[in-house]
Amino acid sequence: MNNHQFQEIKTERLLLRKLKNSDWEMISFLRSDKEVNQFVKRPTAKTKEKAIEFISKINNGIDQQHLFYWAITKNDTDQTIGTICLWNFSKDQKTAEIGFDLSPKFQGKGIMTECLKSTLNFGFKKLNLDLVTAYTNKENESSKKVLERNGFKFVVDKKDEHDQDNIVYELNREKPVATK
Tens digits of residue pLDDT in 135-158: 999 999 999 999 999 999 999 988
Least confident of 40-44, 71-75, 149-153: 40-44
Return the domain boundaries, the chain: 9-172
Q: What is the pLDDT of residue 177?
A: 47
Element (H, E) at 100: strand 95-102
Q: Which residues lie closer than 8 Å to 57 by C-beta, 6 or more apart?
A: none
> For residues 43 and 31, is the Cβ–Cβ distance under 8 A?
yes
Does domain 9-172 bear CATH number 3.40.630.30?
yes
Q: What is the pLDDT of residue 174?
A: 77
Q: How many CB atoms lie within 10 A of CB 93?
A: 14
Strand order in the sheet with 131-137: 9-10, 14-17, 68-74, 80-87, 95-102, 131-137, 166-172, 153-154
pLDDT over 50 (residue 32) = yes
Q: Is 45 helix (H, G, I), strand (E, B) or coil?
A: coil
Residues facing residue 153 across a β-bridge: 170
> For residues 85 and 69, is the Cβ–Cβ distance under 8 A?
yes
β pairing state of 95-102 and 14-17: unpaired
Q: Is 28 helix (H, G, I), strand (E, B) or coil?
A: helix
Arithmetic mean of pLDDT, 27-35: 92
Q: What is the pLDDT of residue 3?
A: 62
- pTM across the whole model: 0.92
